[in-house]
Amino acid sequence: MPEPKKPSIFRKLFRSLLRSPITRPVIQRMGGSMLRHMPGQITCRQFEDFLVDYLEDRLTAEQKKLFQRHMKVCPMCRASLHSYLKVIEMGQAVCAEDDKDHVFDAAPQELIDAIIDVARKNKPK
């Protein structure tokens, strides 16, 4: 099995700068400023604005390219999207579990009797 690639010195440095509460805001500000002024890049805010349309495949080809490019360069947005999708999947998984457990469960007998009773009374003559 190939050994996992060791992180480069730059990545290690970037990690430690991003971890520190003193340097993190500086790094973030620099990154934000770069994204705002760099042609062909969007900011995290714009990324967020595009998100729902991206997931519904409603972006234009150009917008989609910008969205995907931002995702490549911004670890924060990548992580944000990852957890955003994970929470949706968790909701769906829990819901599917509940349906599996309850679909064939009988509703309370009193409810069933009441419904049948009403139907009988209102039966067209």
Partner 1 sequence: MSQRFSKNLSDKDGVMKIGDSDEADLVSRLVRGDEDAFATTVKENAGWMLNLARRFTNCDADAADCVQESFAILFKKIGEFQGRSKLKTWLHRVVVNQALMKIRKKTNLREQSLDQYLPEFDRNGLRIGPVRISDESVESLISNKEIAMKVRLAIAELPDIFRVILILRDLEGYSTAETAELLEIEEGAVRTRLHRARHALRKILEPTLGAKYLGDIL
Interaction residues for partner 1, span 40-59 (CB under 8 A): 43-46, 48, 51-53, 56
> CA–CA separation, 38 vs 30, rounded Å?
12
Q: Is residue 94 part of the contact set for partner 1 (CB under 8 A)?
A: yes
Longest CA–CA span in the chain (Å) reads 85
Q: Cβ(42)–Cβ(67) under 8 Å? A: yes
The beta strand positions in 1-125, using DSSP E, are none
Binding mask 3-22 for partner 1 (x = CB under 8 A): --------x--xx--xx---
Q: Is residue 64 part of the contact set for partner 1 (CB under 8 A)?
A: no
Q: Which two tokens stand for residue 55?
A: 């997931």
Nearer to partner 1, 53 or 66 (CB): 53
Provide the minimum distance between the beta carbon of 49 and partner 1 in the complex, in angstroms, as a whole number.
9
